[in-house]
A and B are shown apart, each in its own frame.
Chain A
Amino acid sequence: MKRYALTLLPLALGLALAVALQAGLAPNPILYARADAGTLLWLTGLAASLLWAGGLALWTLAARRAAEARTREQAASAEAHRRFVRRLDHELKNPLTAIRAGLANVAALPGDAALASVRAQVDRLARLTGDLRKLAELEAQPLEEEKVDLGELLGELAAAAEERPDAAERRLHLTLPQAPWPLPHVLGDRDLLFLALHNLLDNACKYSRPGDTVEIRAFEDGAWVAVEVADTGPGIAEEDLPHLGEELYRGRAPSGVEGSGLGLALVRAIIARHGGTVTIRSRLGRGTAVTLRFPVAR
């Protein structure tokens, strides 16, 4: 409202001068003006242009303010979310430590299934807190960047996957380009990239069935490198797709598969820190492909 009050200033000034004239400040308060139509027209044009420019400037300013407020709001909500995750992690840790110590005090009979199950559940919760902490850390900490040989990393990843107990039942293929040249190096945190790719491969193996095919492939695409992990597993329902990567979201289709529900959220956070993107294509009953794209080190 204040801003619009200012627009009345010229009117107030005019009125004040008119009153001053009427009071006899000037000897001859009558003014005769004559102008040719051309001058009148271009002066009117000038006035309209000035009005237009002023309005446009005001409007842009208002839009920019609104955008800034939105960014601030987003940053604040992201920060609030990080704080929440940190606190959750912190508040879970002490009780878990106490439960572990308590369990250690209970003299377990060998083969006590109930106690073994409680231990396993505590371990599961401990893993969850570990993932939560990692997620909170990822957004706050600087990356330990180095030149990463993606081809070598993917080779290690495939070797690690071959060691899985269920590996013999999957057909695992790793395809790396050799022509016209091998994969370029990327600038990134090697351990985090390994973790992200490992999570994807782990998902592909976990959710697929014996006899399914899992493929890892990578290619250069201009200033980007794309790494894809694809499987012929059960696929993901369309209504689940937009929620994948949300913390603790677990789709409906796979049952009996263990996981913290943070795996893909970690992948997204890691790739986002590297300035990259994650896209998922999936069809129920056909399979899933997750594609990571990140910038090449120059």
Chain B
Amino acid sequence: MDERKAECRILLVDDDQAITGHLAPFLERAGFAVAVAGDGEAALQRIAELTPDLVVLDVLMPRLDGREALRRLRRAGNWTPVILLTQVGAPVERALALEEGADDYLNKPFEPYELVARIRAVLRRSRAGAPSLAGARRLSSGALELDRQARRVLVAGQEMALTAKAVAVLEYLMLHPDEVLSRERLLDAVWGWDYPAATRAVDTRIAELRRVLHDAAEAPQYIETLIGQGYRFVGRVGAGT
């Protein structure tokens, strides 16, 4: 198990040396081989040289920012998994981060343990040979279809009336199939909030999704509740263009 982890090469990209200086040893202790780059241009060069298994990419950097670096990488047809370290909490920015083809994103200041958990989850997905959902325009599962660009949800071709928040929650769930997502994580990812008491907002949107999609909580086709842990998308998710 440990040997397999040691094979994992991670490129950590951040212009703040205080961050890379502490984070690189931490990731190494977690069993990854870590290389560091200080800006987007250096990152693209290192990705070409090292072909890492995963890139942890900061957004705000001098010369070439993370977002543009990611766009260039994807345009060149490189689908190395990328976790974006976002600084902006705005939901629009999050939607953008996903549309640019990031596999996941994390808000600064994050817990390093959380980063390791995310890295493992993304690697597990890419290892299993699952299709990358990061750059997909549409996500589908059975009769359910989510158009990420138009922010529309269809069931058997019929458009469903959902709030923007509910669509964003469904999108995040579908992008992380088979992963148990805690309410806190959904709240952080979709709302950009860090208020433990506000997790009820997540429950409200899940209830809305279940009501509109006719998904029974006891025998879910899409969203499963894991008591005390969170939610999980149980359907098989496919990518479309």
**CB pair B193 A134 closer than 8 Å:** yes
For residue B108, CB closer than 8 A to chain A, the reply is yes
Please, what's the 1-or-0 string for A186-208, where 1 marks a CB less than 8 Å from any CB in chain B? Answer: 00001100110010001000000
Given contacts A97-B108, A127-B194, A195-B195, contact A133 B18 (CB under 8 A): no
Please, what's the 1-or-0 string for A236-254, where 1 marks a CB less than 8 Å from any CB in chain B? Answer: 0000000000000000000
8 Å CB contact of B19 from A101, A104, A126, A160: A101
Complex CA distance for A105 and B194, rounded to whole angstroms = 24
Complex CA distance for A96 and B112, rounded to whole angstroms = 11
Given contacts A126-B194, A146-B163, contact A133 B29 (CB under 8 A): no
Complex CA distance for A190 and B109, rounded to whole angstroms = 27
**CB pair B200 A156 closer than 8 Å:** yes
Pick from A100, A137, A160 the residue with the most CB of B within 10 Å: A100
Complex CA distance for A146 and B167, rounded to whole angstroms = 14
Complex CA distance for A202 and B196, rounded to whole angstroms = 12
For residue B172, CB closer than 8 A to chain A, the reply is no
For residue B77, CB closer than 8 A to chain A, the reply is no
The residue on B at minimum CB distance from A141 is: B90
For residue A94, CB closer than 8 A to chain B, the reply is yes
Q: Closest CB of chain A to B82's CB: distance in Å?
A: 18
**CB pair A101 B194 closer than 8 Å:** no
For residue B198, CB closer than 8 A to chain A, the reply is yes
8 Å CB contact of B197 from A95, A127, A144, A198: A198
For residue B216, CB closer than 8 A to chain A, the reply is no
List the B side residues contacting A100 at CB < 8 Å.
109-112
Interface residue tally for chain B (C-beta within 8 Å): 34
8 Å CB contact of B193 from A94, A99, A126, A130: A130
For residue B16, CB closer than 8 A to chain A, the reply is yes
The residue on A at minimum CB distance from B201 is: A191
8 Å CB contact of B109 from A97, A191, A195, A198: A97
Complex CA distance for A50 and B26, rounded to whole angstroms = 83
Please, what's the 1-or-0 string for A83-98, where 1 marks a CB less than 8 Å from any CB in chain B? Answer: 0000000100111111
Q: Closest CB of chain A to B22's CB: distance in Å?
A: 4
The residue on B at minimum CB distance from A101 is: B22
Q: Closest CB of chain B to A127's CB: distance in Å?
A: 6
Complex CA distance for A23 and B112, rounded to whole angstroms = 97
Complex CA distance for A98 and B18, rounded to whole angstroms = 6
Complex CA distance for A209 and B66, rounded to whole angstroms = 50
For residue A102, CB closer than 8 A to chain B, the reply is yes
Complex CA distance for A160 and B193, rounded to whole angstroms = 17
Q: Closest CB of chain B to A168's CB: distance in Å?
A: 17
Complex CA distance for A137 and B21, rounded to whole angstroms = 31
Interface residue tally for chain A (C-beta within 8 Å): 32
List the B side residues contacting A134 at CB < 8 Å.
89, 192-193
List the B side residues contacting A122 at CB < 8 Å.
109
For residue A288, CB closer than 8 A to chain B, the reply is no
Which residues from 176 to 196 on chain B have a C-beta closer than 8 Å to any C-beta of chain A? 191-195
**CB pair A93 B198 closer than 8 Å:** no
**CB pair B109 A93 closer than 8 Å:** yes
Pick from B19, B92, B109, B163 the residue with the most CB of A within 10 Å: B109
**CB pair A104 B165 closer than 8 Å:** no
For residue B142, CB closer than 8 A to chain A, the reply is no
**CB pair A96 B108 closer than 8 Å:** yes
**CB pair B26 A101 closer than 8 Å:** yes
The residue on B at minimum CB distance from A152 is: B204
Please, what's the 1-or-0 string for B107-139, where 1 marks a CB less than 8 Å from any CB in chain A? Answer: 011111100000000000000000000000000
For residue B213, CB closer than 8 A to chain A, the reply is no
Q: Closest CB of chain A to B106's CB: distance in Å?
A: 10
Q: Closest CB of chain B to A250's CB: distance in Å?
A: 19
Q: Closest CB of chain B to A259's CB: distance in Å?
A: 12
Q: Closest CB of chain A to B117's CB: distance in Å?
A: 13
Pick from B21, B191, B197, B200 the residue with the most CB of A within 10 Å: B197
Q: What are 22 sample pairs from A and B whose C-beta atoms fall under 8 A apart?
A: A94-B16, A94-B19, A95-B18, A98-B18, A98-B21, A98-B23, A99-B109, A100-B112, A104-B22, A104-B26, A104-B112, A127-B194, A129-B109, A134-B192, A137-B192, A146-B163, A191-B198, A191-B204, A195-B198, A198-B195, A198-B198, A202-B197
- The 4 A-B pairs with the shortest beta carbon distances in the complex, nearest first, are A101-B22, A96-B109, A98-B18, A104-B112
Identify 12 new A-B residue pairs, CB closer than 8 A, beyond the known A94-B19, A126-B194.
Answer: A90-B87, A97-B19, A98-B21, A98-B22, A101-B19, A101-B26, A130-B195, A134-B89, A137-B90, A160-B200, A191-B165, A198-B195
